[in-house]
Structure 1
Amino acid sequence: MLQRLTHRQIEAFRAVIETGKVTAAADVLGTTQPSISKMISDLEYTAGFDLFERRGRQVFPTPEALALYEEVERSFVGMAEISRVIEDIRDFRKGSLLIAGMPALALKFLPDVIAEFIAEEPGITVSLRARSSQAVLRHLSSQQFDLGFAALDTDHPAVIREPTFTAGMLAVMPIGHDLAQKRALEPQDFDQQPFIALGAEIGTRSETDLFLSKASARPRIVAEAQLSASICEMVAAGAGISIVEPVTATYFGLSGRVLVRPLIPEQPFRYDLLLPALRKPSRVASRFLELVEHKFATLFEK
């Protein structure tokens, strides 16, 4: 049970949320700025998590503070109930996570991570939106999403973009294919081979074309698709061979439906993590990212 939680601390917290300034909250409650700061500091110590970000003279509530404020406003009665909410937030028994992800990660990789996450934290509600990388960027710029996963070459002033994992693109081929005897494929291996290509509008397509041009290889393009999963399905059905991003290729390879080989020279592919720039990641989001990092590591160990 939480200790030292007082009605005055909750009043101070509520006043700071509503005024946006410690000085204004002090005026509302008829006390001093140091007194308000001390009550907020004591409340944060008792709660076990930060309630505000300090930027100059202004303070901005953390996601955890907003979750607590909803309960304070709804009830503002009974310290026992408010104490329970604080404990729920601190111990991950209350909260939500809104994620947008590119299809390459949102079809299999992220659902696997989400399943592991909710098994550990059953009180957290997770929502996943599968979108193109550019749409993921737009979603995160709205500041309404907690996390985004994409592959981008562009930035947005309202979004923090940082690499989360990089690995080489992989060749995929049907089971029993003639090239299966090779440990890695080179550009010349694709010459005159039936080939399933990414759509011309996909950025990685030009990089793959450049890879093939190093040996003047001219594969016979028999089909095109926007999604790596669609390409791998056609490969598994025997329509041809292809080159796709590493996560999807690895999952299909592990399923035993296609053969997967690295490329020489390597064609790197980077997955980006997107965060809303105007607020810090919540404790729930940070915990989820730990599982994402672990999943990337273990997937490519196999």
Structure 2
Amino acid sequence: MRRLNLRLLDVFRVVFETGNVTVAADKLGVTQPAVSKALIELEQDVGLVLFGRGRRRIIPTEDAARLYEETARLFTHVEVFEDRIDDFRSGSAGQLSVAAIPTLAGSVVVQAALALQNKAPLVKVRIVTVSRAEVISSTTHHQVDLGLLHAPVADRDLDVEIIGESEIVAAVHRGHVFQTYDHVTPRDLDGYLLIGTYVGSPASYLVRECFEAAGIKMQVALEVNSSAVAFAAAASGRCIALIDPWPSWVVSDDRCVLVKFRPVVPQRIALLTSTFRPPSRLAQLFAEELRHEIIKAAASSHFVRGMIKST
């Protein structure tokens, strides 16, 4: 038996319900011969006689009655499916995958996901926390819908949009003398034990360049790949962490204070999409929530700036 044609089944359903080919044709917006041809084709496909002919009406067989029950059930599912497609199109349902470096995953990405689900409870967001290289790879190979990390990103297969910017800060234990400073410099930090971010991150190179330019040797006691981990370690009071400011939005820890680090080390937040895979409506809505969360953070922080034009 050939794969059943939904159009033929729809014609059959309407004919069965109306009991008249002419009425069915009017309801379907087609000609009477087209309906008759569709019924003949369906009977050939299913190998059953579905209708007998009376004077003014066609008479369904027992096989037709059984087929109608299954057809009605099928089209109920089709209608549900169509409703779901409408939800996907509007962005009110579906699944979205986002790959992000740990600091951004635990802050703006989570906040944006919760904001989106408040508006669209049927949406499922999968957040994958990975390294910088894995964010780029998974977005390039379409394993996720969106990627989020710190610029720069040089990959011809990716579209890169800068949606905000933060800056490196010094996280110091509350009560530390630096708490009273407007800002700290490499010279101020000379001799202090420091917590630095992973060498592979763009910010780590820039921070080290600042110290080298000042002729100061960094005394890195702890190196981590997550600013959240560095922030927690700085709360002990033994070391000073040079990190981006996002962990303070996630963890309420009064033991730490953020102080400006100078010269400014920018952390441009890059949103990645595949050049060969246009973002879905759901991905676009999530990106809007990300921008909104950054704008909210910028309104309450000296260390975050809102949206920047795409690059």
Give the aligned partner of residue 304 of structure 2.
none
Q: Is the 8 A contact 1:113 1:295 kept in 2?
A: yes
Change (3 A) 1:215 1:250: farther
Query: Does structure 1 residue 266 correspond to structure 2 residue 296?
Result: no
- Give per-residue Cα distances to partners, 1:274-293, cap 9 Å, x unaligned: 10211211111111111100
TM-superposed CA distance for 1:98, in Å, is 0.8
CA–CA distance in structure 2, aligned partners of residues 205 and 84 of structure 1: 49
Quick one: which amino acid aligns to residue 282 of structure 1? S
Percent identity over the alignment is: 21
CA–CA distance in structure 2, aligned partners of residues 77 and 182 of structure 1: 68
Give the aligned partner of residue 103 of structure 1.
102
CA-based RMSD of the aligned residues comes to 2.6
Structure 2 counterparts to residues 1-302 of structure 1, below 5 A: 80-248=79-247, 251=250, 255-302=253-300
Change (3 A) 1:126 1:227: same
Structure 1 stretch 229-238 or stretch 150-159: which is displaced more?
A: 150-159
Q: Is the 8 A contact 1:167 1:268 kept in 2?
A: yes
TM-superposed CA distance for 1:91, in Å, is 4.0
Quick one: which amino acid aligns to residue 182 of structure 1? Y
Structure 1 stretch 130-139 or stretch 151-160: which is displaced more?
A: 151-160
Q: Secondary structure of the equivalent of 1:238? A: coil
Change (3 A) 1:196 1:81: closer
Quick one: which amino acid aligns to residue 149 of structure 1? L
Q: Secondary structure of the equivalent of 1:128? A: strand
Quick one: which amino acid aligns to residue 287 of structure 1? L
Change (3 A) 1:194 1:251: same
Q: Secondary structure of the equivalent of 2:117? A: helix
CA–CA distance in structure 1, aligned partners of residues 203 and 77 of structure 2: 57
TM-superposed CA distance for 1:167, in Å, is 2.3
CA–CA distance in structure 1, aligned partners of residues 127 and 167 of structure 2: 26
Q: Is the 8 A contact 1:104 1:227 kept in 2?
A: yes
Give the aligned partner of residue 34 of structure 1.
none
Give the aligned partner of residue 25 of structure 1.
none
Structure 1 stretch 240-249 or stretch 142-151: which is displaced more?
A: 240-249
Which runs of 5 or more residues in structure 2 are unaligned? 1-6, 11-73, 301-311
Structure exhibiting the larger radius of gyration computed from Cα positions: 2
CA–CA distance in structure 2, aligned partners of residues 131 and 83 of structure 1: 35
Change (3 A) 1:265 1:87: same
TM-superposed CA distance for 1:144, in Å, is 3.1
CA–CA distance in structure 2, aligned partners of residues 209 and 167 of structure 1: 18
Q: Is the 8 A contact 1:170 1:249 kept in 2?
A: no
Which runs of 5 or more residues in structure 1 are unaligned? 1-6, 11-74
Give the TM-score normalised by the residue count of structure 2: 0.67
Give the aligned partner of residue 23 of structure 2.
none
CA–CA distance in structure 1, aligned partners of residues 261 and 287 of structure 2: 29
- Give per-residue Cα distances to partners, 1:187-237, cap 9 Å, x unaligned: 211111121222334332221111123332334332222221111111011
Quick one: which amino acid aligns to residue 193 of structure 2? P
Q: Secondary structure of the equivalent of 1:173? A: strand
Change (3 A) 1:138 1:155: same
TM-superposed CA distance for 1:105, in Å, is 0.7
